[in-house]
Amino acid sequence: MNAVLDAMENGTISRRVWFYANYHCNLECSYCLTESSPRAPRRQLDHSLMKSLTRQAADLGFTEVGVTGGETFLDLALPATLAEMSESVPVIVLTNGTLFAGDRLERLAPMLGRQISMQISLDSANPDLNDMARGPENFAKVVESIPRLINAGHRVRIASTGQAPDEESQEALCTLHRSLGISDDDHVVRPIVRRGRGATFDGSVPAGPDELFPELTITADGAFWSPFAPTVSNDHVDTDLLVSRTVEPLSVPAQRLVALAQGRPVGSDVANNIR
């Protein structure tokens, strides 16, 4: 097991483990890596497995867990699961932020007071541009949700996906996120990755083992190289960055990821900013 800890300490692999909780989504974004939509197969990861693997991750020396999808909060049991996972390590959960209107916010109560942060997607300060990729009314729902979540006591970050914005658009986006109560430290900008629906986007960045920082990622289909790896093309989960079908004990895929990642030039992913 020391090889895994050593690899984290010398920066060969990330200290964060990711879980794909599910693949279906209430949205159908044009650049979605996982071809998610309301009709997509769920590929749901069992919650007891996520909890068990989170404890194992902490034992192996991982210091953070990420939960992504699909739209993670389509599963009403997720808040309680996240709360339990956060007893081992801090948790970041990715969401499109559109499912927290009205009293649905109260469903998140189990997460309050825990080391859990939510990362919500918002791509542009221009509602039309944002909604072009993410669907009608997405902008309005997200800018309404974020202050409500913050007021309710949740820690929120914003992730913006798209081609590098010009200075004016970037400034408008930053002005917007600050007005919503999100600091600059809690705003990340990511490129569109050339996988899933993003494969055909002009300006998308390639994402193979040379470009992606190794971050152990667990799905219902196995363990993968990075959260940008278990993408979906033509209804099939891509296997080019599959590490193993075995996910438990977590030491098995962790050791395989380390073995595969060793010898890879340190920091080669940074050029593309897709950490």
Partner 1 sequence: MTARVSFITANQAPVSARHLFAGGDPGPLVSSWAQVPEMLDVTLPFVGMIMGASSVSVRHKELVILRTSALMQCRFCINAHTEVAVDVGLNELEIRALRGELAVGDVFAMPSEIALLRWIDAVATGRGAVADDIATAFAGHFQDHEVVEVTMLIGATLMLNRYASALQLPNSAESIDRLQQAGYETALTNQGAIA
Query: Of 39 and 128, which has the nearer Cβ to ligand SF4?
Result: 39
**Does residue 248 touch partner 1 according to CB under 8 A?**
no
- Residue 243 contact among partner 1, ligand SF4, none, beta carbon within 5 to 8 Å by kind: partner 1
Q: How far apart are CA 15 and CA 24, in angstroms?
A: 27
Q: Within a 10 A sphere around the Cβ of 128, how many other Cβ atoms?
A: 8
What are the residues facing 116 on neighbouring strands?
A: 91
What are the residues facing 67 on neighbouring strands?
A: 19, 93
Q: How far apart are CA 238 and CA 257, in angstroms?
A: 17
- In 10-92, which ranges are continuous DSSP H helix? 47-60, 78-85
Q: How far apart are CA 96 and CA 219, in angstroms?
A: 19
Query: Of 58 and 120, which has the nearer Cβ to ligand SF4?
Result: 120
**Does residue 245 touch partner 1 according to CB under 8 A?**
yes
Contacting partner 1 within 181-220 (CB under 8 A): 209
Query: Of 34 and 255, which has the nearer Cβ to ligand SF4?
Result: 34
**Does residue 262 touch partner 1 according to CB under 8 A?**
no
Q: Which two tokens stand for residue 46?
A: 């069992």
Torsion, Cα of 201, 207, 213, 214 (10° steps): 130
Min separation Cβ 15 and ligand SF4, Å: 24
What are the residues facing 237 on neighbouring strands?
A: 232
Query: Of 83 and 257, which has the nearer Cβ to partner 1?
Result: 257
Min separation Cβ 125 and ligand SF4, Å: 18
- Residue 70 contact among ligand SF4, partner 1, none, beta carbon within 5 to 8 Å by kind: ligand SF4
Q: Which two tokens stand for residue 175?
A: 């002005």
Query: Of 178 and 236, which has the nearer Cβ to partner 1?
Result: 236
List of residues contacting ligand SF4 (CB under 6 A): 25, 27-29, 32, 34, 36, 69-71, 96
Residues that bind partner 1 (CB under 8 A): 209, 225, 238-246, 252, 256, 260
